[in-house]
């Protein structure tokens, strides 16, 4: 599903994305811009001005938003500055200081929530019938391996080795190549998937986009009425990390060992990135884990079913 902006600012939003691309700036998140676009529609905005009330109501009072107020602040102030740069008048913005802990609080999905999510995904039907098979596999893979969505979408058929339950991840976000492993339950899911679709060696496992998969995940979580601060498929990675850490603690793995291993497994370039996944969660013990001596598939979340088992 392609993201289309529909508010009075639709042309300006698209132009801002083109400008960022031309200037080689970091692209704005289209889903966050989609959230802002929906806000302008919800207040029936007809004129191209942003007043003080528009500005602060979006940040603090927009109840239909799928992102938190800090993310809303970042996207609207960026958009306001862009409009002013290109000659728009009657555009209000004001710098706001946020405490560090307001940045983002990930939602760690419970076992019950994960089961409900997968049950609903398995029974969803899409216009593109391939997605009926693709999304159940994709979201199970994200949850059971902790992959980033960008990494999952770059996997090709010949990157997967079912003989040792592994996937080669080539040059990920931080230019780190690594091998990740999956459980036997995930292997069964992939086996079914490979029987349903005739893959060639260089075919990508998934044909969806990052934006479309995120929208699909948001729709699923909203339909289930799961209460979260914001809805991100990236929180499946947080959930994987927390569950794995908890299992390691219960196995009496030394904290000093486990974090270093998971740093490599998650594809982080330094230990602080791995620690971030934990200090942002409220339910983790203070003694967090750094490396595992030997890989054991049972340490990682096992997932039920897959593709209408």
Count of domains in the chain? 2
Please give the C-alpha separations between residue 77 and each of 50, 94, 103, 153, 180, in angstroms, as whole numbers.
Answer: 11, 8, 15, 31, 39
Whether 97 and 157 share a structural domain: no
DSSP SS3 for 72: helix
DSSP SS3 for 180: strand
Q: Which helix (H) or strand (E) holds 76?
A: helix 69-85
Domain boundary among 102, 134, 158: 102
Is residue 262 one of the residues assigned to a domain? Answer: yes
Rounded to whole angstroms, the Cα distance separating 92 from 84 reads 9
pLDDT for position 291: 34
Whether 294 and 161 share a structural domain: yes
Whether 163 and 247 share a structural domain: yes
Q: The pTM is what?
A: 0.62
Is residue 3 one of the residues assigned to a domain? Answer: no
Give the pLDDT means over successive 10-residue stretches in the chain (309 positions).
88 92 78 94 93 86 84 93 92 77 67 94 93 96 89 94 90 64 92 94 93 91 87 85 71 59 56 47 39 39 53
**């596999």: which residue's tokens?**
137
Domain that holds residue 287: 106-309
Please give the C-alpha separations between residue 157 and each of 131, 150, 202, 205, in angstroms, as whole numbers.
Answer: 17, 16, 6, 6
Whether 259 and 303 share a structural domain: yes
Whether 271 and 156 share a structural domain: yes
Domain containing residue 309: CATH number = 1.10.443.10
Domain boundary among 61, 78, 102: 102
Whether 164 and 247 share a structural domain: yes
Rounded to whole angstroms, the Cα distance separating 166 from 297 reads 10
- Among 180, 154, 140, 69, smallest CA distance to 302 is for 140
pLDDT for position 121: 95
pLDDT for position 286: 38
């Amino acid at each position: 599903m392609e993201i289309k902006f529909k508010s009075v600012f639709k042309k300006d939003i698209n132009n801002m994305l083109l400008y960022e691309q031309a200037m080689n700036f970091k692209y704005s998140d289209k889903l966050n811009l989609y959230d802002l676009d929906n806000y302008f529609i919800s207040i029936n905005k007809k004129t191209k001005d942003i007043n003080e009330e528009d500005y602060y109501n979006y940040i603090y009072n927009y109840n239909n938003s799928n992102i938190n107020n800090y993310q809303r602040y970042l996207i609207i102030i960026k958009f306001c500055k862009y409009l002013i740069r290109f000659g728009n008048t009657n555009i209000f913005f004001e710098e706001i200081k946020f405490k560090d802990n307001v940045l983002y609080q990930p939602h760690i999905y419970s076992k019950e929530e994960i089961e409900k999510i997968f049950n609903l995904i398995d029974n969803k039907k899409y216009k593109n019938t391939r997605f009926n098979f693709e999304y159940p596999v994709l979201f199970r893979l994200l949850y059971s391996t902790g992959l980033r969505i960008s990494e999952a979408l770059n996997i090709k058929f010949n990157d997967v080795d079912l003989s040792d339950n592994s996937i080669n991840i080539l040059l990920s976000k931080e230019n780190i190549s690594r091998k990740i492993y999956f459980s036997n339950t995930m292997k069964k899911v992939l086996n079914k998937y490979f029987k349903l679709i005739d893959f060639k060696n260089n075919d990508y496992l998934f044909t969806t986009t990052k934006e479309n998969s995120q929208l699909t995940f948001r729709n699923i979580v909203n339909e289930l009425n799961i209460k979260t601060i914001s809805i991100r498929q990236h929180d499946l990675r947080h959930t994987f990390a927390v569950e794995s850490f908890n299992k390691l603690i219960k196995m009496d793995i030394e904290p000093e060992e486990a974090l270093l291993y998971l740093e490599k497994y998650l594809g982080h370039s330094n230990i602080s990135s791995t620690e971030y996944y934990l200090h942002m969660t409220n339910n983790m013990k203070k003694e967090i884990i750094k490396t595992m001596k030997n890989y054991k598939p049972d340490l990682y979340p096992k997932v039920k079913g897959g593709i209408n088992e």
